[in-house]
């Protein structure tokens, strides 16, 4: 069984870089982590909320559409719940024959995750306040 | 008939709850549900153009007719990553 | 002491993804691995040769120039010696505030490594034959 | 005077050795050394335009005057990654 793409708590990026298939020459990866600052405010952590049934499906669609567009094997995962500064919230790994497709697919996948997966950041600030970030209206995975 | 509204992201703030029931006339659509919510929650009304609604694994459009007991998830602009 | 950037044997990519600084929001990584095929021939492994004094220095220059150009912290490492299919030969990790610079710096660094570091691939084929690949005349790290 | 030639990558094949000594007249330059190698090794001669030479951590140009005992590393087109 494939492990879930939507997971509670910080991700372990190393888990996704385990082994490469023998026809893979280039792996491009992206790891998003919680920063200590946003728009000039000191951030202590982020709570990620997700609408799980659709988020799981959309993450899977990102993998499938990346494969279709770039001919590249892509694995994605996203965290939900409370994360602190330095924690990994999202991982994309693209394994390709050559590096150009690997980079293109990896970048496309993270851009698409940010626009197409029902997940929301609630930032927590040093003073104790919390705030949902402004986002982008959700799009279909294939939509430009 | 009654449906359940599940508020995600900032829509929790706009509606003042994470989940609540909503009474609608029989045969109501998704658009009718949003209209009823907008009438009560001005912050939601102001953002209605950027709000999507999901039922289960699907984003649904305004014309979708609701079953009694349906669970509607409010999907405000997303900010994952 | 910083571990050497030029190392004997396959690299462990997970080693380079350990921790991120608190001001880092996006890490882009590239891992090159030995493929089982090249130009239609079955490859069993690659022996990487390096001219160590200059290779070490050039790898360090790639990190420094990436930092200067993109304002991004970059770590690079390259293997030498005998590698088999699936082994990691090169790793680039770029840690940035945001993903665009991370991707740009990562891609620039791997492209530059391939043109500016005195390392040579000797491919080993299923039949037992071995061959040095055609390469590209070496360039300075800063050279376009 | 004598210098040492260290052959990297395919230049090992062109010269038939990984390392050997080369006798040059006093005051000889990097270009003189390459000329002497090209005269003996036609495969190297054919690729001379794409060949670089390093001494220690530096790529050196043809005008560089050699010290006795210098170690010259031949750097054919690179193929790392």
Residue from C34, C114, C137 to probe the interface with D (highest D Cβ count within 10 Å):
C137
On whether residue A47 sits in a domain, the answer given is: yes
Q: Confirm whether B33 is domain-assigned.
A: yes
In a domain, C140, yes or no: no
Interface confidence (ipTM) of the complex:
0.94
The pTM of the full predicted model, rounded to 2 decimals, is: 0.95
Residue span of the structural domain in which D68 resides: 2-75
Alpha helix positions (H), C9-98: 52-70
Q: Which chains touch A (3 or more CB pairs under 8 A)?
A: B, C
For chain C positions 89-128, those within 8 Å of chain D (CB to CB) are 89-90, 110, 113-122
Q: Across chain B, what does the average pLDDT equal?
A: 97
Q: Domain tally for chain C? A: 1
pLDDT tens string, chain A, 144 residues long: the values are 456 999 999 999 999 988 899 999 999 999 999 999 999 999 999 999 999 999 999 999 999 999 999 999 999 999 999 999 999 999 999 999 999 999 999 999 999 999 999 999 999 999 999 999 999 999 999 886
**Is residue A41 in a domain?**
yes
Average pLDDT over residues C88-117: 98
Residues contacting residue C16 through CB under 8 Å, at least 6 positions apart: C29, C75, C77, C91, C93
pLDDT at C108: 98
Q: Which residues contact C124 (CB under 8 A, 6 or more apart)?
A: C43, C44, C45, C46, C47, C130
Confidence of residue C143 (pLDDT cuts 50, 70, 90): confident
Whether the CB of A4 is below 8 Å from some CB of chain B: the reply is no
- Evaluate whether residue D67 is within a structural domain: yes
Q: Is B16 left (phi over 0), alpha (psi -120 to 50) or beta?
A: left
Q: For residue range B35-48, what is the model confidence (pLDDT) as tens digits?
A: 999 999 999 999 99
Kindly state the average pLDDT of the residues D73-79: 98
SS3 B8: coil
Q: Is residue D80 part of a domain?
A: no
What's the mean pLDDT in C53-73?
97
Query: Are there at least 3 beta-carbon pairs closer than 8 Å between D and B?
Result: no
Q: Domain for residue B80, yes or no?
A: no
Pairing of strands C6-8, C73-84: parallel
Q: What is the CATH number of the domain that holds B31?
A: 3.10.20.30
């Amino acid at each position: 069984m494939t492990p879930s793409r939507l997971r509670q708590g910080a991700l372990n990026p190393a888990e996704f870089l385990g082994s490469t298939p023998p026809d893979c020459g280039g792996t491009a990866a992206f790891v998003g982590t919680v920063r200590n600052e946003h728009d000039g405010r000191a951030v202590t952590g982020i709570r990620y909320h997700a609408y799980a049934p659709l988020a799981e499906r959309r993450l899977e669609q990102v993998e499938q559409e990346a494969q279709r567009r770039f001919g590249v094997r892509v694995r994605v995962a996203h965290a939900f719940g409370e994360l602190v500064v330095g924690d990994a919230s999202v991982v994309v790994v693209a394994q390709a024959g050559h590096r150009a497709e690997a980079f293109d697919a990896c970048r496309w996948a993270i851009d698409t995750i940010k626009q197409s997966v029902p997940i929301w950041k609630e930032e927590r600030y040093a003073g104790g306040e919390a705030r949902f970030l402004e986002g982008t209206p959700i799009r279909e995975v294939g939509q430009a | 008939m009654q449906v359940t509204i599940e508020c995600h992201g900032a829509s929790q703030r706009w509606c003042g709850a994470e989940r609540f029931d909503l009474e609608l006339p029989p045969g109501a659509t998704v658009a009718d549900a949003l209209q009823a919510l907008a009438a009560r929650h001005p912050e939601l009304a102001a953002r209605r153009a950027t709000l999507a609604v999901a039922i289960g694994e699907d984003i649904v459009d305004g014309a979708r007719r609701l079953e009694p007991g349906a669970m509607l998830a409010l999907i405000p602009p997303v900010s994952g990553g």
